[in-house]
Chain A
Amino acid sequence: GEDVEQSLFLSVREGDSSVINCTYTDSSSTYLYWYKQEPGAGLQLLTYIFSNMDMKQDQRLTVLLNKKDKHLSLRIADTQTGDSAIYFCAESRDDKIIFGKGTRLHILP
């Protein structure tokens, strides 16, 4: 299909790691992105990975890219209440960005 797919919900206990998964469609995508949306706000770029990379780490965030399976994941270490948000996976395609429907991350106390 042509959609970027990700699960709609994820619940994680505070302090645990969160892993949000995504499958994309275009093997020629140059960039893959993770955006975060907090309630009542716009989308904020969290991180992006160039398609020739397998992994990118930035503090508590780790992005893994499996080009063969067109699979992208975002790992948040030591999940905190401030991480509660909707996370969007996206791929670059024809000078545009195609977004998934977003994964709502819920933090359990």
Chain B
Amino acid sequence: DAEITQSPRHKITETGRQVTLACHQTWNHNNMFWYRQDLGHGLRLIHYSYGVQDTNKGEVSDGYSVSRSNTEDLPLTLESAASSQTSVYFCASSDHTDTQYFGPGTRLTVL
């Protein structure tokens, strides 16, 4: 069955380190998204991509970057992790109806 996976599921890192969170989908969806979820803020869009080599900034993109070298993967990189980036991160992909399908999430703690 087609699916969307994220790795790692949990990560603890230190301030200033570079961290990359992986997202992989097997639906062959063109559109992929990264969100962070924090209490009181709901889901906030970090970056999104409409296809290979396409990336766009969302509402909270500072300190994050993405790259899209193939259809299946959209890795999210924190260039220099900060404590404010402690959160749960969700990746999603969408079909032609704009319906988004979510991964299981990565819980990131920055100490």
Contacts and interface: CB of A to CB of B under 8 A. Distances in A.
Interface stretch (A14-22, A38-46, A68-76): A38-46
B83 to A, nearest CB: 22
A42 B45 contact: no
A31 B41 contact: no
A33 interface: yes
Contacts of B101: 45
A96 B33 contact: yes
B71 interface: no
B97 A97 contact: no
Given A41-B105, A42-B90, A100 B98 contact: no
A95 B105 CA distance: 22
Interface in B74-105: 90, 92, 94, 97-105
Contact of B31 (A95, A99, A102): A95
Q: In the complex, which range does the number of interface residues on chain A fall in?
A: 20 to 34
A48 B97 contact: yes
A92 interface: yes
A30 B98 contact: yes
Given A42-B105, A96-B48, A88 B100 contact: no
B64 interface: no
Contacts of B99: 31, 33, 45, 48
A30 B31 CA distance: 17
A101 interface: yes
Interface string A20-60: 00000000001101010000111111001000000000000
A31 B40 CA distance: 25
A30 B98 CA distance: 9
Interface of A: 30-31, 33, 35, 40-45, 48, 88, 92, 95-97, 99-102
16 contacts: A30-B98, A31-B97, A33-B99, A41-B104, A41-B105, A42-B104, A42-B105, A43-B43, A43-B90, A43-B92, A45-B100, A88-B43, A96-B33, A96-B45, A96-B48, A97-B98
